[in-house]
Amino acid sequence: MPDNDIKSNNVIPNDLSAFWMPFSANRQFKKQPRMFVSAKDMHYTTSDGRSVLDATAGLWCVNAGHCRPKITKAIQEQAAELDYAPAFQIGHPKAFELANKLVDIAPKGMDNVFFTNSGSESVETALKIALAYHRVKGDGARFRLIGRERGYHGVNFGGISVGGIVPNRKMFGTLLTGVDHLPHTHLPKDNAFSKGQPEHGANLADELERIVALHDASTIAAVIVEPVAGSTGVLIPPKDYLQRLRKICDKYGILLIFDEVITGFGRLGTPFAADYFGVIPDIMVTAKGLTNGVIPMGAVFVKSEIHDAFMNGPEHMIEFMHGYTYSGNPIAAACALATLETYQDEGLLTRGAELADYWQQALHSLHDAPHVIDIRNIGLIGAIELEPIAGEPTKRAFAAFIKAFDSGLLIRTTGDIIALSPPLIIEKSHIDEIVERLRDILNEVE
């Protein structure tokens, strides 16, 4: 049997060669494919008919669980009623309704919403709003953007420039100029096995003072950070870190952007991480959970002062030269509205708070499992960091991922870190199952 000729299941194509898969080990995958063919609530079904417990909400996005009836119905009905409407100079009601509903659940003062189609596009949009805002205010010398080491802000040029993941940056030339980075806050020596926010590292926010001293505040437009860094292995902000960052930004007139693509829509047990930490950014980047991951859509929230600063000049003129063919797309908007309704009906935006203690205890019970060098958690996010195999980084965690998949558990790995972010409908029995399976897997991997 050729390598790519998968088991006789007529829903699977025989030839896997044409599709160049994103962020995947293509050759390994095509030799040993893993496919999902259906999903319901907490579980996927594989092409060979096995049930897989979803401990990652897809890719941190299926917060309400899979194939939820209201969402499915809303998409079906919208597709039959108004499939597409031009996004520029013409509207349709659901995009406005959605923006209003989002503002209702957003942190106070974030009164305007710009729609995109992904987290990456939301990031680019936020960076452009920040630069243009200073310019419309007559402060156009503020062109610098400050990101953070180990930050992930999607894959477009602005996002990889302010991001801090070396392999995502090094292939792609000069990137944006005028970018600098804060240090990351991962301090395993001081903070290993912290429950919730770590004690040490708030002082790392003061590095912004050093960056300001180097470049001068008058050249800095914005700082962008993930409140909790997800992709690089769940880096939880030390106590008081975000508060200090907010204060320094205020002191120098620098906009603070929170990238809430992962933390938005209930992941921490509050609607947004801004609510959890009590730190309100000027711009908030979202996607993923906005539509339960079902239809691609992102949303950038801005404070009304920022939006209003653009609303000048002749009224027939376009105020902000930016937007996408699919900004506020009718089917995406209908999907997001039904998602918000599902969150509301089931209290999902705050459900994480009820389960966070149980989740924490369950995860930390793995502290004595083989290879484990750190466990971190906040809300319904968790990470288990493994000791890398000497000279072969990522191999152990990838082996754990494959073993988990084969044994009916979906986890995510990044480097040698297992990241967990289950749908917010998770029950305690699922949490127990995740932890039990992980223990078995860690016992088995080399």
Q: Which residues bind ligand PXG (CB under 6 A)?
A: 59-60, 118-120, 123, 152-154, 226, 230-231, 259, 261-262, 287, 412, 414
- CB nearer to ligand PXG: give 212 or 438: 438
Count the helices and strands in the chain (H runs, E runs).
Answer: 16, 15
**Other Cβ atoms within 10 Å of 338 Cβ, number:** 24
Give the burial string for 71-89 (b: 16+ CB within 10 Å, else e): beebbeebeeeeeeeebee
Task: Tell the burial category of 36 from Cβ atoms under 10 Å away from its Cβ (0-12, 13-18, 19+).
Answer: middle
* CA–centroid distance for 252 within its chain: 28
- CB nearer to ligand PXG: give 59 or 175: 59
Query: What is the rounded CA–CA span in Å between residue 425 and residue 86?
Result: 35
The answer to whether the beta carbons of residues 350 and 343 sit under 8 Å apart is no
Task: Give the list of residues 6+ apart from residue 31 with CB closer than 8 angstroms, or none.
Answer: 3, 4
Query: What is the rounded CA–CA span in Å between residue 67 and residue 62?
Result: 9
- CB nearer to ligand PXG: give 6 or 375: 375
* CA–centroid distance for 24 within its chain: 18
Q: How far is the CB of 404 from ligand PXG (least distance, A)?
A: 14
Helix (H) or strand (E) holding 77: helix 69-81
Query: What is the rounded CA–CA span in Å between residue 389 and residue 401?
Result: 15
Residue 326 main-chain phi, psi, to 5 deg: -105, 15
Query: What is the rounded CA–CA span in Å between residue 22 and residue 327?
Result: 23
Locate 265 and state its tokens: 């829509």
Largest CA distance in the chain: 68
Write out 86-122 in H/E/C secondary structure. CCCCCCCHHHHHHHHHHHHHCCCCEEEEEEECCHHHH
Which amino acid is it at 383?
A: A
Helix (H) or strand (E) holding 370: none
Query: What is the rounded CA–CA span in Å between residue 206 and residue 151?
Result: 17
Q: How far is the CB of 86 from ligand PXG (least distance, A)?
A: 23
SS3 content of the chain, % helix, strand, coil (to 5): 40, 15, 40
- CB nearer to ligand PXG: give 159 or 330: 159
